[in-house]
Amino acid sequence: MRESIESKPNTNGTSRDAISPDVENTKSKRTPGRPHSDTSMSNAERQKKYRKCHRAIKTGDQIATTITRLAQQFDMTEQEVTRELLRFALCNKNWTAQGIPQKGE
């Protein structure tokens, strides 16, 4: 039978709630829960997988508002509008032959 928690003085003279050895040992054990699988990923691997599927494009305020306005006008998501704009740009110009203009040109 386990001993209950009671107030005892410590060996150094201060008093605090002392826990019986049986209760103390149960705290170090893991609580039952979902078992770890061999295929579980670390946080870095999970983040890398997420970023691979969900690319982020940094744009200025003017471009972002234009994409938002187009999405509302055509009843699409901003992601769909961005995908269509990229598809249009890639189909209508030979970027490898023309090159990408530098800022200010």
Q: Considering the domain boundaries, does residue 27 fall inside one?
A: no
Q: Considering the domain boundaries, does residue 75 fall inside one?
A: yes
Domain span at residue 79 reads 60-92
pLDDT tens for each residue of 22-63: 555 555 566 777 766 666 788 888 888 888 888 788 888 999
- Number of domain units in the chain: 1
Q: Considering the domain boundaries, does residue 20 fall inside one?
A: no
Q: Give the 3-state secondary structure of residue 29.
A: coil
User: What pLDDT is recorded for position 17?
Assistant: 52
Whole-number Å distance between alpha carbons of 82 and 64: 10
Q: Considering the domain boundaries, does residue 1 fall inside one?
A: no
Q: Considering the domain boundaries, does residue 86 fall inside one?
A: yes
Q: Considering the domain boundaries, does residue 47 fall inside one?
A: no
Task: Please give the model's pTM, rounded to 2 decimal places.
Answer: 0.47
Angle, to 10 degrees, between the axis of helix 61-73 and the axis of helix 78-91?
A: 100
What residues contact 77, with CB distance under 8 A and at least 6 apart? 71
